[in-house]
């Protein structure tokens, strides 16, 4: 079973899609909670919204997440798609600008090819 941290201020759709495919999820609704969660446990994947409350800068948040977590990061964000792709590339993550298909999210988190 895959264990994913969904770092999003509106995580319900992502959690519903992932749990429906057997991914166990827990949510962090802001930047500080996300970073604290990554210090406390090691998920198999992180779904990261760059526009989390408390994030001073989307790029800085992504870099902080990467510094704490070396595994699969999926940047699934409603930020400008160019920014999503650039930031994901900078931290070696999968870029998944919103809106996206639920199946694409599941594939990105589970590691299946997109």
Reading the block at residue 7, the tokens are: 């770092």
Number of domains in the chain: 1
* Mean pLDDT of the region 44-57: 94
Residue 61: predicted pLDDT = 96
| Structural domain that includes position 90 | 3-110
Instruction: Supply the CATH number for residue 56's domain.
Output: 3.40.50.2300
Instruction: Quote the Cα angle for 29-85-82, to 5°.
Output: 100
Distance CA 68, CA 83 (A): 21
Residue 114 has pLDDT above 50, yes or no: no
Full-prediction pTM beyond 0.75? yes
Q: What are phi and psi of 106, to 5 degrees?
A: -60, -45
Give the model's confidence band at 111: pLDDT under 50 very low, under 70 low, under 90 confident, else very high.
Answer: confident
pLDDT of residue 96: 95
């Amino acid at each position: 079973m895959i264990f994913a941290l969904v770092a999003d201020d509106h995580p319900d759709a992502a959690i519903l899609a992932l749990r429906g495919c057997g991914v166990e999820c827990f949510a962090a609704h802001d930047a500080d909670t996300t970073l604290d969660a990554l210090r406390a446990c090691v998920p198999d994947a992180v779904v990261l919204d760059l526009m989390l409350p408390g994030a001073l800068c989307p790029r800085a948040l992504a870099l902080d997440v990467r510094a704490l977590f070396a595994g699969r990061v999926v940047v699934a964000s409603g930020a400008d798609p160019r920014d999503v792709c650039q930031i994901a590339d900078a931290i070696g993550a999968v870029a998944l600008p919103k809106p996206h298909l639920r199946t694409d999210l599941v594939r990105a988190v589970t590691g299946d090819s997109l």
